[in-house]
Amino acid sequence: MDFNERLLSLRKEKALSQEELGSELKVSRQTISKWELGETTPEMDKLILISDLFNISLDELVKGKGSREINLKETDASEIKHSEPKKGIYDIICLIVKIFSVVLLIDVLSMIMYFIFKGFPS
């Protein structure tokens, strides 16, 4: 449902005429008619007044998304953020592990070389 259809539906649910809604928003009946026909859209200050008048969020008014849908999307996004480690920290940990592995490998190889050339200590 588009904004114009939502506005018309909200106005009819409250049993307001275009004239009455226009007077609440301090615009003409013709302006309300143009909004409902989709010819024009209200400015931000009028959108805020409309959302307050009908007691709905701006998202629900403009996009048609209820707060429940928005909360579900926020929950999904927060789960994704918490399930993946931060890339920067992950890269640092990988680098430390690689450095430790190289140092350990060099130590093992040097010990093997020592035993080959010097023999085992007695």
Percent of the chain with pLDDT over 90: 62
Q: Domain limits at 9? A: 3-68
Helix axis angle for 3-13 and 44-54, nearest 10°, is 40
Q: Count of domains in the chain? A: 2
pLDDT in tens, 16-31: 999 999 999 999 999 9
Answer yes or no: do 60 and 15 share one domain. Answer: yes
pLDDT in tens, 65-103: 764 454 555 555 555 555 555 678 888 999 999 999 999
Residue 12 lies in a domain: yes
Residue 74 lies in a domain: no
Rounded to the nearest 5 degrees, what angle is found at the Cα of 28, between the Cα atoms of 47 and 3? Answer: 35
pTM listed for this prediction: 0.54
Residue 77 lies in a domain: no
pLDDT in tens, 50-75: 999 999 999 898 888 764 454 555 55
Answer yes or no: do 10 and 64 share one domain. Answer: yes
